[in-house]
Amino acid sequence: MRMYDLIEKKKQGLELSTDEIRFMIDGFTDGSIPDYQMSAMTMAICFQGMSKRETVDLTLAMRDSGDVLDLSAIEGIKVDKHSTGGVGDKTSLALTPIIAALGVPVAKMSGRGLGHTGGTIDKLECFPGFTTEISEETFCKNVNNIKIAIAGQTANLAPADKKLYALRDVTDTVDQMSLIASSIMSKKLASGSDAIVLDVKTGNGAFMKNLEDSRALAKAMVSIGTMAGKKTAAVITDMDQPLGYAVGNSLEVIEAIETLKGGGPEDFKEVVFALGSLMLEFAGRAKNQEEARGLMQQVIDDGSALQKLAEFVSAQGGDASYVFDTDRFPKAKKVTEVKAVKEGFVHRILAEEIGIACMTLGGGRETKDSVIDLSVGIILKKKNGDAVKKGDVLALVYSNDDQKLEPAMDKILHAYEIEDEKPEVGSVIKEFIFE
């Protein structure tokens, strides 16, 4: 078999066989297929697409390129949750302690932020001392003892995806549906949970900008998970504005803690409850959505979800006192107001622009090696549908460097689309996708 012939086949729009896909992924992982051939293939896939069968084969080949975790030492049904990446998306920080407080094991692999989207690991590292670099043994022990552990993706978990993602990132071949679906699902299948709940973002701040493409991505991932023998469902959620009010690492952690105390933004709580109720149903902890929502509210009201967050932070080396005293998180030196220059109603807040503004302030990564400033970020004061007068504060910017402040403020102002008519603002939950 020759990679050259496989590129030609895909260029002609023909389907690759299961063996051909295995050959390609195995060769790319061990280095016998060079980056330039793989780049040509990913570009051909962008133009010609992949069938459902090819997408499943690609996922399984990438899953099998490294370790597949065995979580059988953990009792109970392990349910994983994954988001396709958004701005202000601190969902895992509030959701996972709620689920664990209800006795359902959460054994989760998370990532760091890249580009305009944030990552759970960076947010968790706002707790001094916290580490996601824990051994498999500690990981399983913590889940058995306190029902929750979050680890970083180990080097040998779906290494083919790691290599391929890095290549796609620099060859403009990230936003292809089969490539995204197989990338995410190969890691989820390798990380060993029994069921998977996916948060597929849709809108300006997401990889998939419209509902039709997001639905296709969600369906592809749900069908891959189901075919691989895992209960899988997806919720499509809105990214035509950032989720909640806070964008930036420690600001987002504080907002998640507020939510666990019973406050928090409505749209954020909706996402947490929608994903959480699916997780509880899959784990057999609740019979239906209504029961699941009641249970989630109960552990927020009685403080046990907040207590679980503290227990989890402490078990992974972090200072849990921050959970109960959020004033301890490092503060940016300066807080500046961004004011409206016209009157009207907020129609859309370009989430990607807000994410880039946060990155410009130093709160996000431009390259994998960037060191990030955990204290900077943005608090939105107006969201979609809100009325705005000229001079009203749209957002507060938390910054440490005056040179970075001006460009970030310009981006935030540009992100707000203000029109004369009051818009219809729909729910943050767009659709549920089941097999």
What is the binding site for ligand URA (CB under 6 A)? 84-85, 165, 174, 179-180, 183-184, 207
In whole angstroms, how close is the CB of 181 to ligand URA at the nearest point? 8
In whole angstroms, how close is the CB of 161 to ligand URA at the nearest point? 7
- The residues facing 82 across adjacent strands are 198
Q: Which is nearer to ligand URA, 59 or 183 (CB)?
A: 183
Q: In this chain, which residue has its C-beta nearest to ligand URA?
A: 183
The one catalytic residue in 112, 187, 230, 231 is 187
Q: Which is nearer to ligand URA, 207 or 245 (CB)?
A: 207
The one catalytic residue in 22, 81, 168, 285 is 168
Given a contact cutoff of 8 angstroms between Cβ atoms, the answer to whether 198 and 220 are in contact is no
Longest dimension (CA), the chain: 66
Q: Which is nearer to ligand URA, 180 or 286 (CB)?
A: 180
The one catalytic residue in 83, 182, 183, 214 is 183
Locate 314 and state its tokens.
């402490």
Q: Which is nearer to ligand URA, 85 or 88 (CB)?
A: 85
The one catalytic residue in 64, 80, 161, 194 is 161
In whole angstroms, how close is the CB of 322 to ligand URA at the nearest point? 29
Q: Is 149 helix (H, G, I), strand (E, B) or coil?
A: strand
Phi, psi of 205, rounded to the nearest 5 degrees: -85, 5
Q: Which is nearer to ligand URA, 86 or 248 (CB)?
A: 86
Angle at 349 between CA 125 and CA 217, to 5 degrees: 75
In whole angstroms, how close is the CB of 62 to ligand URA at the nearest point? 11
Q: Can 411 be counted among the known catalytic residues?
A: no
In whole angstroms, how close is the CB of 110 to ligand URA at the nearest point? 11
d(C-alpha 282, C-alpha 434), whole Å: 12
* Those residues with Cβ within 8 angstroms of residue 200's Cβ, 6 or more apart along the chain or in another chain: 84, 206, 208, 214, 217, 218, 221, 234, 235, 236, 237, 433
C-alpha of 390 from chain center: 35
End-to-end Cα, the chain, rounded Å: 35
Locate 398 and state its tokens.
């938390």
Q: Can 82 be counted among the known catalytic residues?
A: yes
Angle at 106 between CA 324 and CA 214, to 5 degrees: 100
Element (H, E) at 398: strand 393-399
Q: Which is nearer to ligand URA, 196 or 408 (CB)?
A: 196
Q: Can 183 be counted among the known catalytic residues?
A: yes
In whole angstroms, how close is the CB of 180 to ligand URA at the nearest point? 4
In one-letter notation, the amino acid at residue 203 is G
- The residues facing 196 across adjacent strands are 80, 232
Could you give the residue numbers annotated as active site?
Answer: 82, 161, 168, 183, 187
